[in-house]
Every structure is written in C-alpha cells, then in structure tokens.
C-alpha cells in the first residue's frame, strides 16, 4: 500500500502537468548552447577536442594546416538539421542514436561516457525530427516551417520516395505528398544527406521482388509504390534541386559512426567529402567489406563454408558459398565495425547481404539454375564483380 495520499498524488500530477504544459510553450524553449559550451560542460578540454579533430581530419584526409580554422568553425557554428522520413522502417534512426554514448572515443577528462561525436551530434540544432522531437502537431510544424525559412541547414532524409500519383499517392502528411514535402524542405537546404539504402537507392520499397519462377516469361515484379531514391526525386524537380549537393549514406541501416562522420564532415568543412559514383563518401565506402574481412585468407586459399554447421563453418572459413556479397559491397563494416566497434556480420558467422549497394534486394545473386537476381541469399553473381 502506498504512503502517498490521493491528495498528494493529485497535487504531484497537477504540478507535473503544469510543468509539461509550460515546456510546451514555444516562446519558452531554452536557447540552445553552442558546441563549445556543450563540450566545456561535458568536461572535454580544448586539447582533447583538438586531438579528436586531428584524428577526424586524418580519417577524412583534411590538410593539417586547415585544422585551427576547422576547430573554430566547429566550436562556433550551430548547424541546423531538418530530418524527414518517408518510406522507411526507422532502423536508420535507431542506428544513429546508438552513437550515444560511445565510449570508444571517450577523451573526456571526467567519467562522462558521452563521446565527442555524440556531443557534436547532440549540439546540432535538430529543428525537426518527428520520431524524437518534443513538440508535436502544430508546434512541430511550426518548428519545421521556421527552420526551412532559413538557409544553410542540412536536410537529412531516410526512406524512399513513393510516386505521388498526382497528389493521391502513398505518402500524405498534412495534406501534402512526400514529393511536395521534400521539395519544400530541400529548397533552402545547403545539402541533402540521404541516410540508408532506401533514401540512397530506393532500397526495399523500390525492390521488384525475386524472379517469379512460376511466370513463364520470368518477368520481374514492380515496386507497388513506384519508390525511388531521394536523389531521383530531387532530379525530377529540375532547376536548383538537380544541382543540390546530395550525399548518400547507404546501408540497411548505415553504421552510426558513418552517419555521424558524414554530418561532422559537413559541419567542419561546409562541403561534401569526396564521393564515389553512387554519391557515397569515399572515406567510408572506398573499399569493399571483403578487403578487410578476417575470413579473407580462407577465401584466398579456397576454403569455404558449404553449410552453416559444417567443419568449415566451425573453422571460420570464407562464407562466399553461403551467399556472401562482400567482394562487391562497399562499406566500412570490417574497419569501423558495428555496435560501437564490437563486430560485423561475417564475424557473427553470416555473409554480407550487400545492404549498402544499389538494388541489393534484387541484384548480384545467381541460383544453381543460373538465374540472375534471385534474392540476396543466393550466390554472388560473378558477372557483377567489377575491376
Ligand atoms: Fe569475402 Fe565474404 Fe569471404 Fe569475408 S566471408 S572473405 S567478405 S567472401
Ligand atoms: Fe550490410 Fe554487408 Fe555490412 S550486409 S552491414 S554491408 S557486411
């Protein structure tokens, strides 16, 4: 039996409710501290921050002479971020929030477990992010309208863009289609960062499905929503939208540090890092996961797993015969690793599905009958291996 009387309970609820309602008043949101304030309050010294930036600049191939300028820019600037979600599963955002906390990069003088990367991310002015923001309804809409009336913000998008079927399509929010919402938010954005394979290449919503073995013509299906990548949607608007800087951070989902690193690069430099032909930062997607895979020596010696419980599996042999797409998949899984540097799929005994590549649901596989594009659990199609 609780010692709290009903009267006390009522008073406590009323007081919490009034505090909550006060916080919901837009005029009374606290002014956001700068990154410099945030680092200082978290016990991160300027020396530690410089050390972190040097590591970061080495990873991103920034000339050391630019360091002081970059540090000042990072400390003083408060970059606004607007985050929109379309056809997605929220796995990308789930991955991003896993960067909090990350003790791997903890250079703090205190026992604070926040990483500097997480502090930088939390010091971003996240002006609109439906899933995590405090305001809702009209207040949330006002936050977005205020943010996109400015210039220079980063527009982060996850999820693919469905066809809007002339205004009656698959994604309607406040009476606007996904395409209308994207165009509105992209107009003043300095850059668009497509987070995840759905936003980068269409991903699952754009998948055509495996070849239909019952179909005599063996025709592929079609995406029921006509989903496309965010870049394709921007291109369809033409004009300024076609030339808007777009960075694809692919992966299903992408690694938290890759998302964070890409945003931090833009904050530090005000421009995109060097990108590959699929608009992905080369610093993270420059090599295939096969290059640094710990099973590669078995690949080279021709020792393969042929069944998940055979002697080869127990000995950690190469997973190529189990459908691994590592040799054609560009990502940082085997270098940065997952779950705060813990491991990656091949270390857990499963082959790479090729999740960071365009059309990974449909392409790059071949079955025993020689049919191509039959789903990612089938063998890697040798014809898809480029030089
Ligand atoms: Fe390459 Fe996959 Fe074999 Fe690793 S398990 S060596 S990524 S083919
Ligand atoms: Fe995705 Fe392959 Fe990495 S499936 S998580 S790119 S190892």
C-alpha–C-alpha distance, residues 117 and 105, integer Å: 8
* Residue 304 domain boundaries: 287-387
Please give the number of the atom of ligand 1 that sits closest to the Cα of 296.
6
Q: Does 331 contact ligand 2 (Cβ within 6 A)?
A: yes
The contacts of residue 200 (CB under 8 Å, 6+ apart) are 194, 229, 230, 231, 248, 249, 250, 278, 279, 280, 358
SS3 for 347?
helix
Q: Which of 287, 288, 289, 295 to mutate to test the pocket of ligand 1 (most atoms within 8 A of CB)?
A: 295
Domain boundary among 256, 285, 314: 285
Q: Is the dihedral of CA 344, 346, 348, 353 positive or negative?
A: positive
Query: Does 248 lie in the same domain as 129?
Result: yes
Please give the number of the atom of ligand 2 that sits closest to the Cα of 255.
5
Q: Which of 294, 323, 326 to mutate to test the pocket of ligand 1 (most atoms within 8 A of CB)?
A: 326
pLDDT in tens, 117-176: 555 555 567 788 888 777 788 888 898 999 999 999 999 999 999 998 776 678 888 889
Token pair for 231: 């870049």
Q: Is 117 a domain residue?
A: yes
Q: Are 325 and 352 in contact (CB under 8 A)?
A: yes
Q: Does 293 contact ligand 2 (Cβ within 6 A)?
A: no
Query: Does 379 lie in the same domain as 279?
Result: no
- Residue of the CA atom closest to atom 1 of ligand 1: 290
Query: Does 244 lie in the same domain as 135?
Result: yes
Instruction: Compute, in angstroms, the gap from residue 354 CA to the centroid of ligand 2.
Output: 6
Q: Is 19 a domain residue?
A: no
Helix (H) and strand (E) counts for the chain? 15, 9
Domain boundary among 245, 262, 285: 285
3-state helix, strand, coil in the chain (%, to 5): 40, 10, 45
Q: Is the dihedral of CA 241, 229, 325, 284 positive or negative?
A: positive
Which of 65, 62, 54, 73 lies closest to 273 in space, CA to CA?
62
Query: Does 85 lie in the same domain as 136?
Result: yes
Query: Does 278 lie in the same domain as 296?
Result: no
C-alpha–C-alpha distance, residues 98 and 31, integer Å: 26
Q: Is 244 a domain residue?
A: yes
The contacts of residue 7 (CB under 8 Å, 6+ apart) are none
Burial class (CB in 10 A: 0-12, 13-18, 19+), 259: buried
Q: Is the dihedral of CA 262, 267, 271, 274 positive or negative?
A: negative
pLDDT in tens, 213-253: 455 455 556 788 889 999 999 999 999 999 999 999 999 99
Strand spans (E) along 143-291: 154-158, 172-173, 176-177, 191-195, 246-249
pTM: 0.79
Query: Does 297 lie in the same domain as 266?
Result: no
Query: Does 199 lie in the same domain as 336?
Result: no
Q: Are 336 and 364 in contact (CB under 8 A)?
A: no
- Residue of the CA atom closest to atom 7 of ligand 2: 352
Token pair for 330: 């560009």
Q: Is 14 a domain residue?
A: no
Query: Does 120 lie in the same domain as 235?
Result: yes
Q: For residue 318, which ligand has an atom nearest its CA?
A: 1
Q: Is 12 a domain residue?
A: no
Query: Does 261 lie in the same domain as 143?
Result: yes
Q: What's 272's domain CATH number?
A: 3.40.50.700
Please give the number of the atom of ligand 2 that sits closest to the Cα of 355.
1
Q: Is 294 a domain residue?
A: yes
Q: Does 352 contact ligand 2 (Cβ within 6 A)?
A: yes
pLDDT of the chain, 387 residues: tens digit per residue: 445 565 665 555 555 545 544 444 434 434 455 666 666 776 766 666 666 666 655 555 455 555 565 566 555 557 888 999 999 999 998 888 776 554 344 444 444 444 555 555 555 677 888 887 777 888 888 989 999 999 999 999 999 999 987 766 788 888 899 999 999 999 999 999 999 999 999 999 998 765 554 554 555 567 888 899 999 999 999 999 999 999 999 999 999 888 888 887 887 788 999 999 999 999 999 999 999 999 999 999 999 999 999 999 999 999 999 999 999 999 999 998 998 788 999 999 999 999 999 988 888 888 777 877 777 888 888 888 775
Neighbours of 378 (CB within 10 A): 18
Q: Is 16 a domain residue?
A: no
Query: How much is the pLDDT for 73?
Result: 57
Query: Does 86 lie in the same domain as 213?
Result: yes
- Residue of the CA atom closest to atom 2 of ligand 2: 352
- Residue of the CA atom closest to atom 8 of ligand 1: 320
Query: Does 210 lie in the same domain as 111?
Result: yes
Q: Does 353 contact ligand 1 (Cβ within 6 A)?
A: no
What's the total number of domains in the chain?
2
C-alpha–C-alpha distance, residues 204 and 89, integer Å: 10
Domain boundary among 285, 304, 331: 285
Please give the number of the atom of ligand 1 that sits closest to the Cα of 334.
7
Q: Are 203 and 160 in contact (CB under 8 A)?
A: yes
Query: Does 132 lie in the same domain as 231?
Result: yes
């Amino acid at each position: 039996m609780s010692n709290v009387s009903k009267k006390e309970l009522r008073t406590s609820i009323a007081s919490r409710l009034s505090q909550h309602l006060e916080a919901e008043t837009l005029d009374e949101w606290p002014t956001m501290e700068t990154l410099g304030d945030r680092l200082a309050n978290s016990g991160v010294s300027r020396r530690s921050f410089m050390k972190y930036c040097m590591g970061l600049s080495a990873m991103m191939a920034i000339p050391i002479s630019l360091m002081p300028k970059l540090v000042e820019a990072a400390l003083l600037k408060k970059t606004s971020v607007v985050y929109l979600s379309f056809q997605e599963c929220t796995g990308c955002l789930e991955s991003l929030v896993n960067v909090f906390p990350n003790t791997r990069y903890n250079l703090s003088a205190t026992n604070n477990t926040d990483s500097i990367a997480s502090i930088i991310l939390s010091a971003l002015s996240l002006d609109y992010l439906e899933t995590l923001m405090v305001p809702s309804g009209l207040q949330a809409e006002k936050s977005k309208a205020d943010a996109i009336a400015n210039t220079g913000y980063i527009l982060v998008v996850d999820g693919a863009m469905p066809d809007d079927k002339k205004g009656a399509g698959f994604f309607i929010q406040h009476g606007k289609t996904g395409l209308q919402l994207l165009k509105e938010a992209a107009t003043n954005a300095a850059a668009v960062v497509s987070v995840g394979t759905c936003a980068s290449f269409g991903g699952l919503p754009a998948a055509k499905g495996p070849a239909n073995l019952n179909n005599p013509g063996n025709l592929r299906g079609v995406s029921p929503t006509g989903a496309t990548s965010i870049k394709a949607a921007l291109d369809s608007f033409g004009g300024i939208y076609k030339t808007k800087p777009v960075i694809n951070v692919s992966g299903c989902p992408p690694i938290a540090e890759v998302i964070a690193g890409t945003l931090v690069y833009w904050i530090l430099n005000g421009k995109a890092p060097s990108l590959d032909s699929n608009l992905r930062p080369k610093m993270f997607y420059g090599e295939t996961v096969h290059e640094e895979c710990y099973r590669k020596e078995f690949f080279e010696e021709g020792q393969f797993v042929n069944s998940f419980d055979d002697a080869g599996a127990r000995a950690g042999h190469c997973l190529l015969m189990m459908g691994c797409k590592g040799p054609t998949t560009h990502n940082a899984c085997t270098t940065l690793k997952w779950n705060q540097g813990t491991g990656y799929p091949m270390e857990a005994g499963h082959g790479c599905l090729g999740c960071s590549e365009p059309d990974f649901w449909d392409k790059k596989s071949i079955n025993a009958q020689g049919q191509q594009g039959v789903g990612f659990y089938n063998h890697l199609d040798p014809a898809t291996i480029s030089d």
